[in-house]
Amino acid sequence: MLSGGRDRGLDAARGVALLSMFVAHFAPVDGPGKVLTLSEHLTAFLFVLLIGCGAELGRRSPGRWRSSQVRAAALVVVGLLLMQLPTQIVVVLVWLGLMSLLAMWISHLPAWAIAATGVLAAVVEPPVLDWARDWLAKGGHDVISTAAVDIAFGGGSYRLAAFVLPACAGILLVRLARADRARTLVAGAAAAVVVALFVLDQAGTALLVPYSGSLQEIVFNTALALAVAGLTWVVAPRLSVLGTVLAGAGAMALTIYTLQIVGDWAYFKGGGATDDRWVILVGACAGALVLGAAWLPVARATGWRGPLEGTVDALARGKWPSRTAGGRGA
């Protein structure tokens, strides 16, 4: 555990999501066998799965409703502000904020209902996506209904409907896999699904296209996120230095995400032609890890996981963190 009772394994998984995000945003090539495109499948789904983990961990926490609403609002507001900056990155924070509210409600269901909700959402996503895009293409709708349908069902890169399955998977991972052995078994089973679907994709049977909204893509992305989260949760606490550095970056994911968008905007404003460059990718990964490690003493002394995280925590609790603040979370 990190100071303040945070789970280092889950924070490290969030750190892996950050590194995957940088690969998705800045890698100039697909890599051998298009291995680097796996980041396009993994990143958002891993963030959402970890939101599900956090919803389950905090299900019985005092003041959970206020805290969840404040944190969700903070993600939406920061996301909307970052969307005003012209970059080549599609900001996902609005969807993550709304999913955190939805995950909070789903986490109160029994396990079988959570599983059924995730499966049902994944099955209906493809036909609903087709309907929503046809509806949006017709135009003539009011602004509110257009935005609601776009965010929930018809968006290009991100849709709430596609994120329900990984959120449910994260909730069930925490609820049902409470020991390292169980988490390892879950990660192994999820990895087997990933390999099977990847082989079928190479054979032309199951086409895995990022952001397509197909059932096989949603299942593949969720299984990949489950495998990475489960394995990292088990392994990271045993890696003293690397685990701590990854967890430090993951704990301040909102700050690092924001710095990424602002930095990308500044790069293009300064005359940059493209951000798909190795130097940017390596710099972003190294910068995130260094910043996470450098902030650890501040986090231990103040309870502030990061500049933005500390502010959001204070608003969520209705008071500033004490020197020993923290509270259990993901």
268 in any annotated domain: yes
Contact residues for 71 (Cβ-Cβ < 8 A; gap 6+): 97, 100, 312, 316
Among the residue ranges 63-72, 165-174, 264-273, 291-300, the one predicted with the least confidence is: 63-72
Mean pLDDT of the chain: 92
CB 171 within 8 A of CB 226: no
Residue type, 104: M
Burial class for 57, CB neighbours closer than 10 Å (0-12, 13-18, 19+): buried
Nearest to 68 by CA among 44, 90, 52: 52
Is the residue at 8 inside a domain?
yes
Higher pLDDT, 303 or 124: 124
Kindly list the distances between the CA atom of residue 256 and the CA atoms of 25, 108, 132, in Å, as whole numbers in the listed order.
Answer: 14, 31, 33
pLDDT of 263: 97
Is-above-0.85 flag for pTM?
Answer: yes
The total number of structural domains in the chain stands at: 1
pLDDT band at 319 (very low <50, low <70, confident <90, very high): low
Domain-embedded: residue 322: no
pLDDT surpasses 60 at 324 = no
Reported as a single tens digit per residue, the pLDDT across 44-77 is 999 999 999 999 998 888 778 888 999 999 999 9
Mean pLDDT highest for which of 7-16, 30-39, 200-209?
7-16
Q: Hey, CA dihedral for 328, 160, 17, 9, is it positive or negative?
A: positive
Q: Please state, in angstroms and rounded to a whole number, the distance separating the CA atoms of residues 21 and 311.
A: 24
Let me know if residue 323 belongs to a domain.
no
Partners of 329 in beta bridges: 6
pLDDT at 329: 43
> Residue 266: what residue type?
A
Amino acid at 175: R
Range of the domain at 269: 3-316
- Whole-angstrom distance, CA of residue 244 vs CA of residue 230: 17
Which DSSP state fits 32?
Answer: G
Question: For 29, which DSSP code?
Answer: S
> Is the residue at 253 inside a domain?
yes
Say what the pLDDT of residue 326 is: 43
Structure tokens at 21: 């995000």
pLDDT at 240: 85
- Answer for the pair 234, 180: CB distance below 8 angstroms, yes or no: yes
Residues 178-236 pLDDT 10s: 999 999 999 999 999 999 999 998 888 888 999 999 999 999 999 999 999 999 999 99
Q: How far apart are the first and last CA of the chain?
A: 10
User: Residue 322, exposed/middle/buried by CB under 10 A (0-12, 13-18, 19+)?
Assistant: exposed
Look at residue 266 and tell me if it is in a domain: yes
Q: Which residue has the tokens 């169980």?
A: 182
pLDDT of amino acid 320: 57
Among 93, 22, 50, 35, smallest CA distance to 289 is for 22
| Angle ∠(9,11,16) on CA atoms, nearest 5 | 90
Give domain status of residue 330, yes or no: no
Lowest mean pLDDT among 140-144, 233-237, 295-299: 140-144
Supply 99's token pair: 């999913």
Does residue 329 lie in a domain region? no
